[in-house]
Amino acid sequence: GGPLKIAESIVQLIEKWGGKVLVRATVQSILIDDKNWACGVVVNGRHILAKSIVSSVGAPATLTKLIPESHRSLVSRHIDMMKDPDIASNISLQTMFVGIDDPEGSLKLPKSNSWIHHSWDH
């Protein structure tokens, strides 16, 4: 179980629909076509074309390191927004899956998901 199973099932689904998942493959840049749409990636000097691209390195690295400098003006508004300390893209999310063995319900826990944020500064 655990998060690894979630990732594995997502990979299976992507591959079922004809997609390809690369792991431990450093992307040098995102390819941009003549209509200014992302159309693939460069991995180890090899151009890999794709209809959809998912970046897991976060917005700052994706926009400032993977978008070629020649096309960075296309995302300059987003880059500028990340410089604003009030909305800076440095918030992380942690997901925790907890399984509790309480067949009698003695803990009286709600059967729901909980999203707990003690303030907007979290």
β-strands 38-43, 46-49: how paired?
Answer: antiparallel
d(CA 110, CA 88): 34
pLDDT of the residue at 109: 75
Q: Burial level of 112, CB count in 10 A (0-12/13-18/19+)?
A: exposed
Summary mean pLDDT of the chain: 80
pLDDT of the residue at 87: 65
3 pLDDT higher than 60: yes
pLDDT of the residue at 39: 95
- For residues 107-114, give the mean pLDDT: 73
Minimum mean pLDDT among 12-16, 44-48, 110-114: which range? 110-114
97 pLDDT higher than 70: no
- For residues 7-19, give the mean pLDDT: 84
Query: Which residue would you say has higher pLDDT here, 2 or 68?
Result: 68
pLDDT of the residue at 91: 47
Please report the sign of the dihedral spanned by the C-alpha atoms of residue 51, residue 52, residue 57, residue 63.
Answer: positive
